[in-house]
Structure 1
Amino acid sequence: MTRSILVGGEMLNWSDLHPVDARPAAAGPAAAALLTAALHPGDSVLVAGPHALDLLTGIAGQVTSVDVLVRSAPDAEEIAELLADTKGDVHCGSLDRFNTDETYDVVVALDGLERLVGPDTATLTWANALTALSDRLTPQGRLLLGATNSFGIERLIQPGIAAAIPRNEDWGRDVADSAPAGLKPLQAALSATGITKTYAVFPSLIESQVALVAVGGLAAVTAARTVAARNAGPTLMDPYRLVLDAADAGLTFELAPAWYFVTGDLPATLPADVVPSGPGVLLEEHLLAALRMDDQATLRRIIPEYVAWLDAGGNGSPDNVILDGSSYRLFGEAQELDVVGHLARFARRTLESGSRQPWPAGGTVHELTARLASMAGITVPEELPESIEVVRPLGSAEQLATVARLSEELAASSARAILFEGTVSGIRRSLPYRVGHAVLNPARVVRRRVRRVLRKVRR
Structure 2
Amino acid sequence: MSPSTTTVPQNLRLIGGEMLVWTDDEPAADRRPAAGPALQEVLRDLVRPGGRALVAGPHEQALISLLADAPMAVTCLVRAYPDAEALARRLPGVTVLCGSVAKLDPSDTYDLVVACDGLERLPSVEGAALSWAETADLMAGAVRPGGTLLLAQENLLGVHRLVRMSPWYGERTDADWTPLGDYDATRPASPGELVSSLAGRGLTVAEPMAGFPTAHEPSVLAPLDRLADPHLAGFVRIAVSAAYGAQLAGRPVLSDPRALAGSALRAGSAAEFAPVWLVAATRAGALIPRQRVVVADAGTVPHPVRYEVVRAEHGWSRQVLGDPTLRSRDGVYRDPAALAGPLPRGRLFEEQLIELCLRRDLPELSRVLTRYAAWLAEGADEDGTVGGVALWAAPGDLLLDGEGCTPWDPTWSTTVRAPLDVALARSLRTFAVRLITGGYSHPWPVLVDADSLVVILAGMAGHTLERPVLAAAVDLEARLRAAEHGLDEAGRERLRERLAAVTPGTPPLDLDSHRELHAANDRLREELAHAVSRVAWAEELLESREKALRHAEDKLDILSGSFSFRLGKLLIYPLRKAKGLAKRLLRR
Task: Find the aligned partners of 1:47 and 1:343 in 2 and give their Cα distance.
Answer: 49
Query: For the Cα contact (< 8 Å) 2:210–2:277, is it kept in 1?
Result: yes
1:206 — aligned with what?
A: 216
Q: Partner letter of residue 126 of structure 1? A: W
2:356 — aligned with what?
A: 290
| Aligned: 1:219 with 2:236 | yes
| Aligned: 1:273 with 2:307 | yes
Distance 1:42-1:223 versus aligned 2 partners, 3 A rule: same
By how many angstroms is 1:58 displaced? 0.9
| Aligned: 1:102 with 2:187 | no
**3-state secondary structure, aligned to 2:270:** coil
Number of residue equivalences: 426
1:318 — aligned with what?
A: 395
Query: For the Cα contact (< 8 Å) 1:106–1:141, is it kept in 2?
Result: yes
| Aligned: 1:390 with 2:503 | yes
Task: Find the aligned partners of 1:18 and 1:160 in 2 and give their Cα distance.
Answer: 16
Task: Find the aligned partners of 1:19 and 1:286 in 2 and give their Cα distance.
Answer: 37
Corresponding residue to 1:301 among 367, 375, 399: 367
1:256 — aligned with what?
A: 274
- For the pair shown, which has the larger CA radius of gyration, 1 or 2? 2
By how many angstroms is 1:71 displaced? 1.4
Corresponding residue to 2:92 among 79, 84, 88: 84
1:375 — aligned with what?
A: 460
Task: Find the aligned partners of 2:562 and 2:137 in 1 and give their Cα distance.
Answer: 110
2:255 — aligned with what?
A: 237
Task: Find the aligned partners of 1:324 and 1:74 in 2 and give their Cα distance.
Answer: 54
Query: For the Cα contact (< 8 Å) 1:10–1:118, is it kept in 2?
Result: yes
Moved more, 152-161 or 139-148: 152-161
Cα offsets for 1:44-70 (capped at 9, x unmatched): 211111110011101112243212111
Distance 1:296-1:163 versus aligned 2 partners, 3 A rule: farther
Query: For the Cα contact (< 8 Å) 1:362–1:406, is it kept in 2?
Result: no
Query: For the Cα contact (< 8 Å) 2:23–2:175, is it kept in 1?
Result: no
Task: Find the aligned partners of 1:453 and 1:252 in 2 and give their Cα distance.
Answer: 94
Q: Partner letter of residue 189 of structure 2? A: A
Cα offsets for 1:422-447 (capped at 9, x unmatched): xxxxxxxxxxxxxxxxxxxxxxxxxx
1:65 — aligned with what?
A: 73
Q: Partner letter of residue 290 of structure 2? A: L
Distance 1:132-1:61 versus aligned 2 partners, 3 A rule: same
| Unaligned 5+ runs, structure 1 | 422-450
Distance 1:249-1:403 versus aligned 2 partners, 3 A rule: farther
Q: Partner letter of residue 155 of structure 2? A: N
Corresponding residue to 1:157 among 159, 163, 170: 163
Q: Partner letter of residue 394 of structure 2? A: S
Normalised to the residue count of structure 1, the TM-score between the two structures is 0.81
Corresponding residue to 2:405 among 318, 328, 341: 328
Corresponding residue to 1:195 among 202, 205, 209: 205
Higher relative contact order (CA 8 A, sep 6+): 1
Q: Partner letter of residue 256 of structure 2? A: D
Corresponding residue to 2:44 among 5, 16, 36: 36
**3-state secondary structure, aligned to 2:209:** strand
Q: Partner letter of residue 197 of structure 2? A: A
Query: For the Cα contact (< 8 Å) 2:79–2:123, is it kept in 1?
Result: yes
1:349 — aligned with what?
A: 434
By how many angstroms is 1:353 displaced? 1.7
2:496 — aligned with what?
A: none
**3-state secondary structure, aligned to 2:442:** coil
Task: Find the aligned partners of 2:514 and 2:181 in 1 and give their Cα distance.
Answer: 34
* Percentage of matched positions with identical amino acids: 32
By how many angstroms is 1:252 displaced? 2.9
Corresponding residue to 2:124 among 113, 118, 125: 118
Task: Find the aligned partners of 2:432 and 2:308 in 1 and give their Cα distance.
Answer: 26
Task: Find the aligned partners of 2:113 and 2:371 in 1 and give their Cα distance.
Answer: 53
Q: Partner letter of residue 206 of structure 1? A: H
2:449 — aligned with what?
A: 364
**3-state secondary structure, aligned to 2:33:** coil
**3-state secondary structure, aligned to 2:74:** strand
Task: Find the aligned partners of 1:69 and 1:121 in 2 and give their Cα distance.
Answer: 15
Q: Partner letter of residue 357 of structure 1? A: H
Query: For the Cα contact (< 8 Å) 2:155–2:274, is it kept in 1?
Result: yes
**3-state secondary structure, aligned to 1:284:** helix
Query: For the Cα contact (< 8 Å) 1:4–1:92, is it kept in 2?
Result: yes
Moved more, 396-405 or 139-148: 396-405
Task: Find the aligned partners of 1:68 and 1:308 in 2 and give their Cα distance.
Answer: 58
| Unaligned 5+ runs, structure 2 | 1-8, 228-232, 282-287, 296-305, 310-317, 319-342, 380-389, 475-498, 541-560, 569-588
Task: Find the aligned partners of 1:369 and 1:7 in 2 and give their Cα distance.
Answer: 65
Distance 1:75-1:402 versus aligned 2 partners, 3 A rule: closer
Normalised to the residue count of structure 2, the TM-score between the two structures is 0.65
Task: Find the aligned partners of 2:50 and 2:44 in 1 and give their Cα distance.
Answer: 13
Query: For the Cα contact (< 8 Å) 1:203–1:223, is it kept in 2?
Result: yes
